[in-house]
Amino acid sequence: MKAIDLPERWSKAYVSVPASPRRTLACSSGAGPTSSSEARSSRDSSPFARCSIPPGRCTVRYYDISLNLSPDTVRWVVAPPLEVHERRRMSRGDDVNASALTVSVHAGTHVDAPFHFLPDGAGIDSVPLERFIGPALVHQVDADRFITEAHVNAISLEGATRVLFKTRNSELLKRRDFEPDFVAFSVGAAHALVARGVGLVGLDYLSVAHADEQVPVHRAFLDQGVVLLEGVDLSAIAPGRYELICFPLRLRGLDGAPCRAVLRDLAG
């Protein structure tokens, strides 16, 4: 996991837009690194680095919670491996480097579309964009195998409609082999989240449900229009409130899509 350093031209464009009350930007009051070597040292000293913006300018801190996709990335027990096809390589005398991928739409960090479990459900390209961006709560749960209804009812949502669950799964994501003994939602927990008005649920493993409960848990969410964000890496994320940005690929009519999921620190 690494922080995203915005190019200077993007940083200036971003901070020139007035921040809304719900998207507070913190301003840096101290002097930043004075040389490129100091800047690199500053970035390397922490997994989360501030953007390089002149002192006094607003700063934005982003956390990349996406898995790094490769043939070695952990995958669902029956999912095909990601394959990289090197179509052209400059090392072989070609003018360019060009690659193609064979990959599951549920690989790595991804979003499930309603069509994944509903025969007449919407494809991933039909899910409104506003569902994928906005305030989100990262909530840590100490659970063995199931996130239960009791776990859900104990959450202080305070208006949050997007909730990402951090569990012991975050360590399992670092392993190449699939781990069937991950933490997943019970059907009761899914119904409880729907009842509490949550519209997006994220989990730090490849599915919100165990293999033997895929249909009832997914249906409990998707029947009610809840967006499912699976495979988020929350291992270095502190519980709290953030802004979530997780746009999936626009794959027409398909049952899901990989996405780049990012959290923005609202505390600055």
Spell out, as residue ranges, where the chain has pLDDT lower than 70: 1-58, 268
Structure tokens at 147: 């996130």
Residue whose structure tokens are 């953030």:
242
Q: How far apart are CA 211 and CA 204, in angstroms?
A: 16
pLDDT at site 19: 33
pLDDT at site 194: 98
Q: How far apart are CA 137 and CA 149, in angstroms?
A: 18
Per-residue pLDDT reduced to its tens digit, 56-66? 555 789 999 99
pLDDT at site 57: 55
pLDDT at site 12: 37
Per-residue pLDDT reduced to its tens digit, 171-200? 999 888 999 999 999 999 999 999 999 999
Cβ contact 10:16 at 8 Å: no
pLDDT at site 59: 74
* Structural domains for the chain: 8-60 (no CATH), 110-265 (3.50.30.50)
Beta strand ranges found along the chain (DSSP E):
26-27, 58-59, 62-64, 83-88, 98-102, 110-112, 133-140, 146-147, 162-166, 184-185, 200-203, 227-230, 240-245, 256-258, 262-265
Q: How far apart are CA 211 and CA 108, in angstroms?
A: 17
Tell me the three state secondary structure of residue 129. helix
Structure tokens at 5: 């350093």
Task: State the catalytic residues.
Answer: 116
pLDDT at site 3: 52
pLDDT at site 33: 37
pLDDT at site 127: 96
Residue whose structure tokens are 């949502």:
157
DSSP at 90: G
Cβ contact 138:204 at 8 Å: no
pLDDT at site 79: 84
pLDDT at site 78: 83
CA of 179: how far to CAs of 1, 2, 23, 174, 217, in Å? Answer: 21, 24, 37, 11, 19
Q: How far apart are CA 184 and CA 141, in angstroms?
A: 11
